[in-house]
Every structure is written in C-alpha cells, then in structure tokens.
Structure 1
C-alpha cells in the first residue's frame, strides 16, 4: 500500500481523507454482506472497500490494523519527508524546525541586508571588478525617497513570496550576464507582444457588418480633431502593430467614457461639434455605439486598450529594474544564513529542498530513482489549487512514467472553486493539464463530474442560470479564466428551498435583516445549520456587534483579530506599562481599563497638569491623589498596591507568571464579559510565555506582531448551528442555510510591491515599483497591475460561486438598495444581471437605518454620564478561595504521590523499568503531537532507537534491560501510529489540543497538581481528557483487563475532570489509551 501516495494541501483535508477511507474499510469489515448499505452511493463505496479488504488479506497488509501504511499527507509533509531522506542534496542538512509564520526571519534578513549598506563599498574597494551591491541599495533608496522602513517591509513581503519570483529573478540575472542577450529588449518585446495581442482581439471583436460605417465616422472625427497621420484617412480598421496603438486608443476614447461604459452622447471633444454639418455623422456613430452595447467582449477589450502602455521602460525604471534581482537574491542569501543559524525554515524552503533532493531531469538523484520504484500511484486532491513549484515537483516525480509501465496519476479538482491565488495557486495549470491531456510526460484522461449531491434542485438550477452569465464563455490558462460547467441536481426540489433576495438599506439595516433571517430559520427549521459568509472580515463590522448585543450565540472562525479585542488591548497596555515606566499612553490605558476605571475628571486631575513626570510618579504623589474624588482615590490606591508589589517581584519569576499574577490581582478575570474572553486571555499569556527571555520580553515588536497575527477564540458557549466565517474558510464545508451579506462592497486594491511580474502567453512582464516622487506615471507597472486585476476578477467570480454552492436548502442574498447600480468591483455587480429584475420588484422593502443599543456585563457600572466606562465596582476585592486550603508540603499532591484518600494510583504491580518506559513514551508522544503526527512514520520511529536507549539510560534503566525497554518504547509509538484511535487522539485538527498539560486545583480543600497526558476539544464541542497507560497484558482476556484498568483509574480521571470543569463549562469525556495493546476505554465525566 505504500506504493500509493495521496497528496492534498491542508492537514485538515488529509485527516478527513484518511478518516473516510478507514471508516469505509472498517464499515465493510463489520458488514461483510453489505446488508446495511441502503443508498446507491453507500453500496458503491462498500463494494470498493470490500475489494480493498480482500486484497489486504491476500497480501497480509492488515490495513485496518495498520492505518499508517496508507500514505495520505499534505504536500508540505511529503516535501519534508523527501528532505529528511536527502539532507545534503536538499541543501538543508539535518531536519530543521519548520516555522509556519516566518515573518520575523524575513524582517531580520531585510534588516541585515540594509544594515550593511556601507559594507558593499568596502568590498568594492577591495575587489573593483566585483558587484557593488551597496550602490544597488542606494539606487533603490533614491527611487523610494530614502524611505528605509518602507523598503524593509517591501523586502519582507517579497521574501514571503520568493517561491513565486525566484525562477524569474534567476532567469533575469542569467540573461543580464549573457553577452549575446539584450534583457531590456526581451522584456520590452514581451510588452509589445501583449499589446499586439490585445489589439488583435479588439479588431476581431468588431462586427464585420459595422466596420465600414464605423471607419467613415472615425475619419470624420479625426478630421474634426485635426489628427494628422500618414495613413489617414482610414479605409479599414487600423492594424494591430504597436505603431497603431495611438489610433486604437483614440478609437477606445471615442467609444467609451472615462468609466469604461459606452458613450451615449458625443461633443466636439470626440470630434463631433454642434451644428447641422456634423449632426448626421454624430447620429450614425451613436447608432453604431448603441448596436455595440450588447458586445461586452468588445467593450472590455477597448477598455483594456485605453490603459495599454508604450512598450518602453523609462531610464529610471530600467535602472531600478536592473538592481532589483541583485537585491532580492542578496536578501534571500541573508535569509538562508538565518535559516542555518537558527536551524529553522519555512514551507517554501522545504519545497525548494525537496526539488533539489530529486535532482535534474537528466541527472536524477538516487532518491528520485528510488521513488520511481517505490511510488507507483499518485493521487492529488484539490489539484485546481496547485502552484507552479508544486507542479514542477509533480512533473519531476513522474518524469519517465508511462501509461504502460504500471504507474498511474489521478488528479482531482474543480477549477470553478480555485480561490487561492494569494497562496500562489495557479488554476491555469489545471486548465493546461486538461487541455493538453498530460502532466509533463504522463498522459491523463479528462473526466468531468457534474452531479451535485449537496444542494436542493432549486438551488442548483439558480446557480446554473446565474453563473452561465457570470463566468467567461471559454477557459484561458494564462488569464486564469474558467468556463462554467452546469451541474445536475441529485436532490429533488423541496418546499421552501432556493435562493431568496433581501433588499437592504445601509450596513446597519443589513445587520438587522441578517438577525431577522436567523430568527426565521430557527423558527421554521429548528436544528438546521446556518452560516454567514463574507469576502473579508470588515464586512462583519455591523453584524457581529449586533449579534453580541442580542445575545445570539455564534461560532466565529478566525474572524476577530486578537489585538482588536478590548481586553487584549488592556493586557498589551499592562505589559508595556510594567516594562516601561515612561510609557505614558500605556499607563493612561491601565488607569482607564476596567480593573481600575478612573473617570476622565479624576484622570485630568491626576496627570493633566503634569507632562514632565511619569504617570507612575503622579500616581504615588500624595498631593495629586488628594485632589481625586473618594471613588477615584480608592481605585487608584488598590492599583498602586498591586503595581508596587509587581515591581518588587520583577525578574524573580517567569514573564507569564509575573504579568498574569498582576492581572489577576487587579481583577482582570472579573471584568471578562464574553464566552471567549478566557480563551483569548489564555492565548495572550501563551504567546507571552513563548517570548520570555529571563523574565523579560525577547523582542517587543515581534511580540506585538505575534499577537496581531492571531485570531480571537470561538465562544465556548456556542455550538456549530450558527457559524460566521470568510468564504475562503467555508470552502469544502456545507450548511443548510447560507447568508451572504456585504456583497455591495468593493474589494480592496492590492498594495504596491517591490517587483511586479506576470507570466503571460507572450512572455514575462515585469516592472519595478513606482517612485512616490515620480510625477509621470509608471505605465508598464500599471499595465501589469491591470492584467493581474483582470485575473483577480475571474477569481472573484469563482469566490462567489464557492459562496453560493455551500447551501443545502436556502441561499439568502443581501442586495443593497442604497444605489441604482452596484459599485464596480463588488460581488453584487457580478450578480446584478441575474438579480436586477427580481430586485427591482422588492427594492421598496428595504427598511430604515438601524439604531444602536448598549449592553454592560454584570457587576460593571458607568463612571461618567454619557461615557460607557466599563469598570469594576469600587469596593471590589479578590474573592476568597471557596474552601480553606492546606498548603503544607504533605498536601501538595500530584499524580506521582502515594495512593491515598484522593485516589492517586501508585504502580505497585509495575517494576521500575516499565515505569521508565512510560516516561519516555509520554515524552515522545508529546513530541509527536507538537510536530504533527503526519510527519511521523514507522521508519522515523525506528531511527530513534539510539535516542530511546540514551533517554532510558538517563532515567536509570540498567544495561541488562535497556534493549528490551527500548523495543517497548518503539512498539508503543508504532502502535499509536497504526491505530486509528491513536491517530485521532494525537491529531492537531482538534481544538485547544495540549499535551502534558499541567493544572492545579482544589480538591476537598487541598491543592492538587495534575498533569493531563492529552486534552482537546472535538468538533462537537466536547472536552476530552486522555491518559496514556503503557501497561502490558500477556495472559487472560484483554477486555477484562481493560475494564479493570478503567475502574482502577476512574477516581483519578474524574478528579482531572473536576479540576478541568472549574475552568470551563463544556461536557467532558474521559479516556484511557493503552498503546501497547491498542486498547481504549472511555466514559462521560460526572456532572460537577
């Protein structure tokens, strides 16, 4: 089975694929006759699974007992596996740590490059013939107005995209160094070819029967405009060479307005002055334009023509373009040095390493030859999202394969759902593979699947009707245009299902209508799932606050940025204040935060007249505090006591313990108001813990960036029946009802980047960023931007398609009534031809603007009339512990203590060796969970035998037992990988997953310390607490043994649940996992 490799792009997709396969095999194993297969789909799946099981039995694979033999992995883990096998050829050495967010490394590499500005000049003096890259930096600095911080950030962005530009930049460098090539001419010829391609299409789009009349009117207009040209008057449409560009742009300006719409009036500026002589020509020309109005292809091409540039770089742009490849390569070299120093890499570097490990097409490495024999079948899921680099990797893997040598390639994807260009997904590669019927040298046979099993027939029909108008007529691999393929409905048409339009007024009214729709759905379809899907998070700015105020519980999936939460902002201010007494803004924020809550009047008395002293000095000045109100003075005194004690403890404990202790003593937890606040605070302190360097912040700017890159957790009180997410996050999911707000909003224009490029059918287009002090436009840069904007526009159509096809029963489309036509660039503008007629009949239903209302948390009050100041009551103090606690050492219990009244188990039956085996197994399982179980296999575990021996020796296992003990560790870890239950426990797809999780709690008035081997929250919102047991049972009934073990550890596990329940209110299930036995026992924790 290892000859079959299934590759997908996310860990979640890989886990789901593995789960479905194993579930199908187990289901077929438990139902050998197929009696329980009712539907046709289930029956077909059962037949396939039965054949697989039969083959597994014939060859002794035991797939259901050894699921790790199924090679289902992400493309990143596949590349990582290749790199581990060839550390030298991959140029990465020993397996480095993979960093998911390498922005800190990119920024450091950019700073290292710019910090050595003068070094290049020193090097040039020593080696006059060498490359003076210091001058290259100087050229870029001058071009960007000496804005060093901006240059640094632009380089950071480019380093994050180096897998996209590396090939082009290297090619430009080689062409520049080749004396037989003129790089500038090559690139300018590419622009010229693209211009001619647009002009050819525009000429072909003119109706043949209109050309003669159009040319006559055109000659009249040019004569009136006194345009002189050797080719005038025209007898036909102009040619399509670059020399005819100005004539075509004149034609475009005569036909279209500045906004790109067909002209409905003409005047002297277009060559048709008022008066009788020109009236007839004007009427004829307007009649021609009226006839063109249905020709959308011609309009688009003329609009593109208006923006075409002259195919020549300015001298300044070319000078910058010459140095950018040098600087980008140097920045990458600095990044590689950082990778080596820190033994860290990002996913792009792993991909480069995997490609290098396979060698060249003519000189494959031993690994490539081995894989050619070892991997015989490759399946790629979501192939429409493949990138250029991944395509090249697949091409290299399948080089030499033929359809007759036993190899097979299976590519699955839906190009109409390709929506990840920002991750370098290139749908054109899917179109190319489909049209050419091959990937590299490997032939493929296209098969189209058109049945929609998800949605009601009414929804399928509406989507077919709508997207035939929205999608382009034909696919284009270079433009990323995908033609529409209608679907066939599998589900029948049901009552109350289909697409519903909702005319709305402003954003506030849209939010009201969304809430109203949710209420109606819950009344009519109780228990159904509902999703609110948006293109971008700001589109929820009105909706989420209204849902919060109305106590509507929902699960938000990566919606609210963590640093926008007011509680997190208060915590950031607290960290800043504790680290810097002179940080005036932070100290003022601490004084206004809910744990203190000084009103503005008291705040002004305290610090308003004193801008020279620090806020802390003002807080401790008795002459100033005496001027405060009694309430304000009491609040300030409590804050000062806590902060004074904090300064005394600074540097004497970990950073997390210090800051979290201050927050708790100030009453921070008592100010929490929402269901996810505690989760968010925990996330904040986790990041703080990671950034600890001897009790101080390792790098404050990195810490703020890390917090800014995270999202607030989901409300623990909410279930999955109402979810809020972006359309990108919803891909692959389905819901009974989908609501689409914010469709009338325009998409944001992309920010400029250092180097802009596009690989077109006519060759590479490339241009440097425009200078902020440059008065003249940057025509080639803007041309490439427009080209990429059209490609993005095609993807926007696909994004809308993904959104509308998530619904099973109902699709609710919010249509803004605030303007006669939707804004260009909005999703609603794409839907407009479909919904305009229906919308016109409902537009009067849009209601008035919504009103705002406030809500305070219990125990909070207003400090000043008219100002919503949330704060603790002035008499608040830390609550007393619920029970008196015995803090004496004899009562500081943990799970290694002797068996006593608290039910802690001592392994009386087990020798010291098996106890030490358990210690090492626990340690390795923690490592596996941290890295991700998909990165582990039996071969890697076997390679760790030396580590097992060393670790066992370090904990006291003798030489006579160490080999047997090491083998037990290997067997336990391998069994966990092979066991579906073990992989499920170790999976990182669960929420809030933690290993070796230490907690302290009060049990019967005593402080108890526990360490939970594994805990997580499953997709149903249930908290699992799992304990590993390395027990062996070599005689008797295993089930009886496991039942006895469950009873033996029941009290201990339920005590874990009791402590965990003091932190949250989720339902809890308990589990014992026995890796050496592949045994499992679970039960529900008693209600606390």
Structure 2
C-alpha cells in the first residue's frame, strides 16, 4: 500500500483487531483515534500526544458546520499555545501544497488539506481567522461560561481570578468563628467544633482555611441535613469495595482450605471469631470481624506472613498435631504476593460506627458557614479563586434534569470536545465535562476525545485524581461511553534509556489498577528513536558511613554531579542538561558547589532559589521581626550574629546563655552582663544598641520600608553585601515589604510566609544548556541528559490534620469521607478508626504519586540518564537498605544488584565519606567552654564561617562615613573636614528617602526631620552643638532643593528612574585591587528624559550667596572625570548621555558640557 493510500485508510478510521505487537497496535490505535466516535486515549511519555490531538482537531474541522463547534481544552496557556501553533503550521504547510515524506506528517498534511477544503467551502478563511478555533484552558472556559450567565452563576461584574487565595480563606475562617458571639444555631455549631478541639481557635481556623481551598469536594454534602449519614454510607461503601477485592483474592477454594485449620486453632486458643466457620465469608461488612481474625491468624504483629507457627498461634507441638501444622505452613508458603497484600489490607479496614456523628455534623455546618463567608470576602474584594470559578461555571450550566438556557444553547453549538492531560482532571472538572456532554449519545455525531497518561498523574496538590481517569475508562462520562485506546510509542528517548525504564519500573509500579488508592500498573512502551553511541543509564552510588551526616553526604553528591556535568560537556559542549528534583531544597548543596567551583557556569533555575534561604535576606527578615517585637528572642540573637554586628558565639552565650526569660533588648542594657563580653564584643554591641535605640524611637514616623531599610543601612547592611545578586535579593525583599504595607496586609506573624513566595531572579546569561528545576516544572520537556540527585532523601511529613477527609470515585459517583482526629490513642488490638483508615489511604496515594513523579523524571531523558543516591553503611561496612518511603527505596528491588555492581570494589571497606567536617572558624571563634555538648551531628557540622564588618566600622568615636568594602563612592572633595563628609552622607540619605517616599515633601515636613537628623549625628559621635548646626545645614539644603525648579525636576518621577544606582565594572587600575577585580560605582540619580540619559551627582558644597552660574560651572569641572566614568557605565543603552552636578545648597543643576 502506498503512503498516500495508507494515510487515507487512517483517516477513514478503519481498524483491524490488535495483534499484541506494541508498535503495530500503536499504529492501529492512532488510526482508530481519527474515527468520529468518542475515545479515551492513554499516551505514554514521548508518544506524540500533541500531534495526535492536532490530527484529531484537523479531522473534525473537515466535518463541522463552523469551527466554533469544536472546543479543545488544555490545562495551561503554554499547552494551548503549542496546540494552536501546531494546527496553524499544519494548515499553512497544506496550503503550500508540498506533501511531506514521513508517514505521520503525511497524515497531518492530508487532514489539514481536508480542513482547508472545508474552510474554503464554507468561507471560514481559517488561515486568517485563526481566532475562530476554540483552543482554551479549562480555567478560561469556566470564566467564559460564568460570564455568559452572571445572574445564575452569582457573579455580578466579572471578578478577577487569583491563584493564591490563602488570605481570603483565612479571613473567611476567622469570620465564621466570630459567629460564636451570635445568638442561635451558628453559635452552637462553632461552640461544638471548638469544644472538640479543646477551644483551640487557631487550630480550628487553620483547619477551616485548608478545607475552604478544597470546598468543591464537600460543597454538596455540607448542604445535607444529616451529612454524617452520607459520610457513613460512603465509608460503608469503601469497606465493601475493599472486601469485594478480598473475596476475589481469597476465593472459595482458598477459604475451604483454611476453614478446618481456623476452627482447629480457635479451639486451641479458645477464641470465638472462627470457631464455627463453616460458610464462605462474603464482602458484607458483617463478615469484617471474621476477616480480621483470618488476617491475624496468618500475619505477624509486623503485618508480615508467618514463617512458622507455635502453640501461641494455636498449633501445639506433638505428632498428633503435625498434620494441622504442616497444612498451615504449606498454606502460608503458597500465599501469592497479591494474597499477602490483601491480608495486610484487611487489618487496615476501619470500624464503621457513629461515635463521631455529632462533631461531623457540626463540622459540615461550620464548613457551609465558612463557605458563605468566603463568598462575601470574594465579593468585597472583587476576586475569586479557580475553584469558585469552576463551581459557578457548573452552576451556570444547570444539571442534566434541569439544564439552564446556557446549557441548552451550548448543547446545540458544541459538537466535539477534546481534552488534553486528562490524567490530571479533578472531580469538579469531571462534573463540568459531564454537564457539557449531558444528553450526548454514542453515534449521534457528537464526540468526546480525552487523552492523557495515568503514569504521569502528579498533581494531587491541585486536586487531580488519577482514579478518575480509570473510572472514565471503565464507565464513561455521564451516559457517554468512551472507547479505550492505548499508544505504546516513545519518540523521545534512545532505546537503551527506554529499555532500562521498561525493565525497572514494572517492579516499582503497583501490580494492579486501583482507582481508590491511585494505583496504576506500568504500561510498557517502545523506543522509535535511533540510538546514540553513549546513550544509556548510569548509576552513581555515593557510599557514606552512617555517622557521616546528611550535609557531608550532600556535599559529596554535589561534587560528583558537577563532575558529571563537566564530563557531559566535555563530550559535547552543546548538550542540554537538566538536574531534576522533587523538592527545591534538594538543590541547595549543588547550587553552592557550582558557585564555588564553577562561577563561570550560567544556569537557569526558575523559582528554585527561595530568597528567604539567602543569608542577606534572612538577616533583614530577622531585623524586621526584631524591630516589631522586643520579645522575639531568636531574631534579636540573629541580628547580633549578622555581619553588621558580628558577635562571636562566646559573646552571645555570655550575654544570654543563662537567662531565657528576659528580652535580649533588656540584656543589652545590663552593665554586669556587658562586662562579660570581650572588648570587641562590647564595642560591637554598643554600636548596635545606639542604632536600634534611635530606630525604636522613630517607629511609625516613616513608611515601613523606609524605616526598616534606613535602620539596615545605618547598621552597615548595604556594606555587607557581596555583589549585585545580594543587592537584587535585598531589593526584592524591600519591594515586597513595601507592597504588603501599601496593601494593608503586613502582619508580623504572617509576613515571612509571604516572603517565601519570592525567588531569586534567574541568571540572564543562562544559555539553556543547564537547567535546575523541579520534576513538576519539567513535565512535558525533554533534555539530552537528565541528572536525578537526592533519591535517598525523604519528603517532609505533615502534622496530622484535625480532620481527615477525602473524596473517592466509587461506582455511583464521587463520595466524601471524613473523620475527626482521634481523641484518645487507639489500642493496637482495636480495629483502626475511620481517621486512621483515611490517613493510611492518603499515605498510599502519596506513595503511588511519588512513584509516578519518578517515572516523569526518568522519561525526560533523550540520550543519558544519571541516577544519584546516597547509600549508608553500618559499623560493619554493610550496606543499609534505603527507606521504602524514598525514591531510592522504591527503586531498590530493581536496582540493588546494579548499585552493588556499580560500586567501587573497595567501597564497603573504605566509604567515600567518613566522619565530620569542621566548617569554622573564620572569625577565630569556637564553642564556649560551658556550651552543652549534646549537639546533633546536623548542628555541629553546619556552623557557617562568620562574615562581619571590621570593628572600626562600628566604633562611634571613629565613625565618619561608612567605609565600603566593594563599593567605590567617588567623592573626591579636597580640603573638607570629617563633619562636612558626614553632612554629605546624611544629605544623600535624605535625598534618597525623599525620592523613594511618594508622599509630598513640603518645607514643613522637612523641618519636622530636624530632631531625627540631630539624633543621627549625635549617635555617630558628634557633639551636640556640632550636630545641631549640621542638621540645620542639611534641612536648609533640602528646603532649598524643593523650592527650586531644578530641584523639583531632579526629584520628579521619570522614565527608567533610578536612585543610588549601584553599577559594577571591571577594575582597571592597581589602586582598586582591594575590590577583588570589580568596582561598584553608585550613581546618585539617573533617568531618561526625552530620549536622553541623565547622570546626576549631588554635591553639598556651599559656594556662598554670591555664587553665580559661572562659579558653579567652574566648581563642577572638578568632577568631570568622575561623571564621565559614571556615564561610561550607560553606554550599552545606546542613548545620548548628559552629565550634571546638582548643588543642594543652591538648588542649581549644572550640566557638564
């Protein structure tokens, strides 16, 4: 058959029976997917899913009356954009008329030609009218639906949509609990819930906020009069479902074999559960106690199959009892893996009782009340979350029995739906699709086409449930049945990589599909890409002694990863490499290693490096918290340890080591304690105390940002920064602080959580060859080489919730099960509570998703996959099996032999890492003599080297102006005294504050600064009369500035506005070698006006009242070289540059011609 005829056959959707050959079956299923019927398609990683969707869309275009009858839904704007681009490119190629030679491209080409023919026939003009193709995200679709029915969907004007509504949830939860003060049912509901939680308002408020984020899962049950009954029924159904699987695994013949042995042991042990067991056990919940007895008979207390039995188990010694003993041993030995798992799960099934009905009912009513309060919060603020958008869109559609006008109209207009990434759908999204397809029947010309890979379902934190994919495959959506197709081709990875995945992951994935537990069996696929000479998978075991500690192991792993990257680039400098991790914090050591050993490497790390993990930002966070709360002991100690003060540990211990009740601020004023400190420590602490005393008296007189930033600068914080990255990080912190303050959202107990959402800006010089990212961010991408570090590390554990709850997709739909935290400890002999059952189910779901996350990671590799894992050895040098909860633990059954084979021959005898490493002491410090020695290895090996300013900087009696370690401020004024220099520093600081504070600056406001400026000067060692005179000079200069036309122009807002702009340049002269090769110059003022860059430097020189323009120009000539150096820093802008001096005392701007 020619390629042309073959392509036409595919378009017709005629499919022969499957053969079992994966590649051949893949071709048949792709052919079948183009038929005008409804399908659910499983497409593994690298299968060409986007191309299949493109072909399906083009196929449908050739059959509809208008393009709007087709809606293609994705989950991200990026995916929607990619599909749109693919379709447009395909149509453009078909318009050109040159058919491709590759079979799959020929299919697309022919489909595009047919679509263009339809477009020409009906006058669509698709190549120009691309907006008629409805390719959208599910959130955009919901927004569109809600906007069309504002009354029914309860939207008035369309609100804004926000991704993070956590503050709204917290406010709604607080408002709900405020009803405790009411009279009536609401007060009783709140009181009941609080009583159950020992009146802990904070915990209950936090629980409500968490539940509001997932309210779409419980919204219906909260509307019921007796929600506890529905929850009880759902729990009952879950138990029955599990028991049906028990009956399937432990069938009639197996039970018949066990019955006499069970009766025998019951008689010996005088137990009643199985004493009269003569009939087969069923899936009815009444038989659950007997099933528990069966599991207890065959399993140990560790939930493992018994290897032998004794009289304690009901099998006495002696010849007369040997037949029974032999029979039970044989039965135990015959247990299959699935039967063992079944027995283990019997013991996990909960007791179904009504002990918690009262609290469940109260919580349901409280959740309903909180949801109502949330709606009011949304309405007040004119914004909603995506969950609200989805629920209102569903409400706008009505239901199958009572569809809305919009639902009927859409039913008429929509003929075909396509859904991408279907494995990541949530119950709400399934509900939306059900209503959009209400009334659709197989063969009526309307089709639903969904495609996804259940092995790549990794978004449970976004409420995705892989079980829904399996349910839809089995039962369809609504009344619509979907034919299941499975693709098996991988077009991405080289054969050695695919072969390794196919050999390894069947042992890692579960043995059977289970929608309720999120279990997916492994689906094998076939590589279609040609191999490469060095393609494959390399294992990198990092062998460490168990006593070495986590940080030591992480350092060695990071070193080896850097060596691996270097080796990959040595083989091919153009290779694109990705280091993928499941959590951002697992890249910390690697980033540090790259910066230390290869500072010339430029890498992309989008939303990886949290700013709160950067030391300069941690220091300003501590300063902010300390300034707001004198009792915050931790952060007061932190600001004394910060570089601007730099107390050594011995001094800190001497100050506060034996007093854990007094505030640090009060201890700083205790003369007896201060005498314990070293001379250096006393000088440093004295300076800090003076600066903070001034700061605390000025609280509330400035904006929050100005106040904290001013204190930070006076302490020398800016001088402690080591480069542009540190400056950018701190600026980002202060910008965010300013935003929180302006929005009225700053709260000392929550602002640090707000800061956690800030990340370091990615390297602008990164060329795409090295990417550091989370596995979730990498989904959908591919790289020549993938490196997986830290597989031995466990994910963080969460505190047990006060209310365990989850929704489960059962045969008759989605059901909510909830149970409150156990008020008492559960006896090991008791059946688990509903709470324990739900927690275990959640753990199993998380473990199963972790396996899928690992699968996503390995399938990103095109040619080479590097797997790193730390393996510990015990005192005897024997390998310690990794914990099952880790990625390496899950891989271990498949990789143990390979790891051992990959290890150095002397690895077990001579571990790569042993002992501990001492990281200090750069400041000549050590542990105080009386410091307790019960410090963990984690602490003792992580004492960072101290970085701090030199003592003279912080000695008030020698202070003139802050010396700058890496900043060269060119103020070459001759014949001026120290006081003049101090006045210059103060005037510059005031000008910066005036420019950053958007509020109007009047003469009265400036005059009000006099006392603060005078105090500032006194604190720096100047006599009172000198301080008064100097403060007056600065005030007069500032008033002259705002009164002059030139001054107002300098202070006005301009394009590309900059204040105290630090710019780095390479050192060219020997005199600047102390800067380490880089000089940073600070430009007082710069902006663009009418296409010209202005560079302005302030001068406080007073040339007298008789000074005219000529004398000012003559004086300004002294600074020409300095201004020219500044101007040279802006050459890259390509704009003309004008240089000027602004004389504050005269209010005049003098341009250097």
Structure 1 and Structure 2 fold alike (TM over 0.5): yes
Q: Which residue of 1 aligns with 2:18?
A: none
Q: Which residue of 2 aligns with 1:869?
A: 946
CA contact (8 A) 1:884 1:1005 kept: no
Deviation larger for 470-479 or 485-494: 470-479
Q: Distance in 1 between matches of 2:165 and 2:375?
A: 12
| Deviation (angstroms), 1:328 | 0.8
| Deviation (angstroms), 1:336 | 1.5
* Structure 1 pair 139–762 and aligned structure 2 pair: CA distance change class (3 A): farther
| Deviation (angstroms), 1:286 | 2.0
| Deviation (angstroms), 1:77 | 2.2
Deviation larger for 738-747 or 846-855: 846-855
| Residue 461 (1) aligns with residue 499 (2) | yes
Q: Distance in 2 between matches of 1:515 and 1:1006?
A: 41
TM-score by length of 2: 0.69
| Residue 520 (1) aligns with residue 563 (2) | no
Q: Distance in 1 between matches of 2:1090 and 2:74?
A: 32
Deviation larger for 512-521 or 247-256: 512-521
User: Secondary structure of 1:814's match?
Assistant: strand
Q: Which residue of 2 aligns with 1:683?
A: 732
Q: Which residue of 1 aligns with 2:470?
A: 431
Q: Distance in 1 between matches of 2:655 and 2:836?
A: 54
| Residue 574 (1) aligns with residue 623 (2) | yes
Per-residue CA distance 1:626-671 (angstroms, 9 max, x = gap): 9976655665576567657756875565433443344345443443
Deviation larger for 678-687 or 756-765: 756-765
Q: Distance in 2 between matches of 1:1005 and 1:713?
A: 23
Q: Distance in 2 between matches of 1:98 and 1:584?
A: 40
Q: Distance in 2 between matches of 1:774 and 1:722?
A: 51
CA contact (8 A) 1:144 1:771 kept: no
| Deviation (angstroms), 1:59 | 6.4
* Structure 1 pair 99–842 and aligned structure 2 pair: CA distance change class (3 A): same
User: Secondary structure of 1:504's match?
Assistant: strand
CA contact (8 A) 1:380 1:411 kept: yes
Q: Which residue of 1 aligns with 2:523?
A: 485
| Residue 153 (1) aligns with residue 201 (2) | no
| Deviation (angstroms), 1:416 | 1.7
| Residue 265 (1) aligns with residue 308 (2) | yes
Q: Which residue of 2 aligns with 1:790?
A: 844
CA contact (8 A) 2:146 2:153 kept: yes
Q: Distance in 2 between matches of 1:675 and 1:276?
A: 85
* Structure 1 pair 740–1002 and aligned structure 2 pair: CA distance change class (3 A): closer
| Deviation (angstroms), 1:457 | 1.0
Counterpart pick for 1:299 among 340, 353, 358: 340
| Residue 828 (1) aligns with residue 903 (2) | no
Q: How does 1:368-447 map to 2 (within 5 A)?
A: 368-401=407-440, 407-436=446-475, 438-442=476-480, 444-447=482-485
Per-residue CA distance 1:541-572 (angstroms, 9 max, x = gap): 65554455444754434344443333222111
Q: Distance in 2 between matches of 1:852 and 1:882?
A: 46
* Structure 1 pair 713–268 and aligned structure 2 pair: CA distance change class (3 A): farther
User: Secondary structure of 2:180's match?
Assistant: coil
Q: How many residues align?
A: 888
CA contact (8 A) 1:675 1:716 kept: no
| Residue 100 (1) aligns with residue 142 (2) | no
Q: Which residue of 2 aligns with 1:849?
A: 913
CA contact (8 A) 2:179 2:186 kept: no
Q: How does 1:958-973 map to 2 (within 5 A)?
A: none
| Deviation (angstroms), 1:621 | 9.5
Per-residue CA distance 1:412-453 (angstroms, 9 max, x = gap): 2112211112221122332233334x4334554443322111
Q: How does 1:32-431 map to 2 (within 5 A)?
A: 32-34=96-98, 68-119=131-182, 122-123=183-184, 132-170=185-223, 173-175=224-226, 184=229, 187-188=231-232, 190-206=234-250, 213-228=257-272, 232=275, 234-235=277-278, 238-292=281-335, 295-314=336-355, 317-401=356-440, 407-431=446-470
* Structure 1 pair 861–375 and aligned structure 2 pair: CA distance change class (3 A): farther
Q: Distance in 2 between matches of 1:300 and 1:100?
A: 40
Gaps of 5+ in 2: 1-66, 545-549, 873-878, 928-942, 954-961, 974-983, 993-1053, 1064-1081, 1092-1124, 1136-1153
| Residue 1007 (1) aligns with residue 1056 (2) | no
CA contact (8 A) 1:605 1:624 kept: yes
CA contact (8 A) 1:675 1:715 kept: no
CA contact (8 A) 2:422 2:451 kept: yes
* Structure 1 pair 466–623 and aligned structure 2 pair: CA distance change class (3 A): closer
Per-residue CA distance 1:905-948 (angstroms, 9 max, x = gap): xxxxxxxxxxxxxxxxxxxxxxxxxxxxxxxxxxxxxxxxxxxx
Q: How does 1:928-1007 map to 2 (within 5 A)?
A: 998-999=1057-1058, 1007=1085
| Residue 767 (1) aligns with residue 818 (2) | yes
| Deviation (angstroms), 1:1009 | 2.2
Q: Distance in 1 between matches of 2:327 and 2:379?
A: 72
Q: Distance in 1 between matches of 2:1128 and 2:402?
A: 61
Per-residue CA distance 1:934-979 (angstroms, 9 max, x = gap): xxxxxxxxxxxxxxxxxxxxxxxxxxxxxxxxxxxxxxxxxxxxxx
Q: Distance in 1 between matches of 2:1128 and 2:481?
A: 58
* Structure 1 pair 454–614 and aligned structure 2 pair: CA distance change class (3 A): same
CA contact (8 A) 2:177 2:190 kept: yes
User: Secondary structure of 1:345's match?
Assistant: strand
* Structure 1 pair 72–883 and aligned structure 2 pair: CA distance change class (3 A): farther
| Residue 756 (1) aligns with residue 756 (2) | no
| Deviation (angstroms), 1:495 | 2.2
Q: Distance in 2 between matches of 1:539 and 1:222?
A: 53
Q: Distance in 2 between matches of 1:773 and 1:828?
A: 36
| Deviation (angstroms), 1:143 | 2.1
Q: Distance in 2 between matches of 1:1006 and 1:412?
A: 58
Q: Distance in 2 between matches of 1:73 and 1:419?
A: 22
Q: Distance in 2 between matches of 1:81 and 1:62?
A: 24
| Deviation (angstroms), 1:114 | 1.9
Higher CA-based Rg:
2
| Deviation (angstroms), 1:540 | 4.7
Q: Distance in 2 between matches of 1:268 and 1:540?
A: 55
* Structure 1 pair 41–57 and aligned structure 2 pair: CA distance change class (3 A): same
Q: Distance in 1 between matches of 2:666 and 2:537?
A: 64
* Structure 1 pair 787–719 and aligned structure 2 pair: CA distance change class (3 A): same
Q: Which residue of 2 aligns with 1:733?
A: 781
* Structure 1 pair 739–675 and aligned structure 2 pair: CA distance change class (3 A): farther
| Deviation (angstroms), 1:531 | 2.5
CA contact (8 A) 2:442 2:481 kept: yes
* Structure 1 pair 652–406 and aligned structure 2 pair: CA distance change class (3 A): farther
Q: Which residue of 2 aligns with 1:1036?
A: none
Q: Distance in 2 between matches of 1:348 and 1:251?
A: 45
Q: Distance in 2 between matches of 1:865 and 1:194?
A: 60
CA contact (8 A) 2:232 2:817 kept: no
CA contact (8 A) 2:1055 2:1087 kept: no
Per-residue CA distance 1:1031-1075 (angstroms, 9 max, x = gap): xxxxxxxxxxxxxxxxxxxxxxxxxxx999979x9x9999xxxxx
Q: Distance in 2 between matches of 1:388 and 1:157?
A: 18
Per-residue CA distance 1:318-343 (angstroms, 9 max, x = gap): 22122121111111112122222222
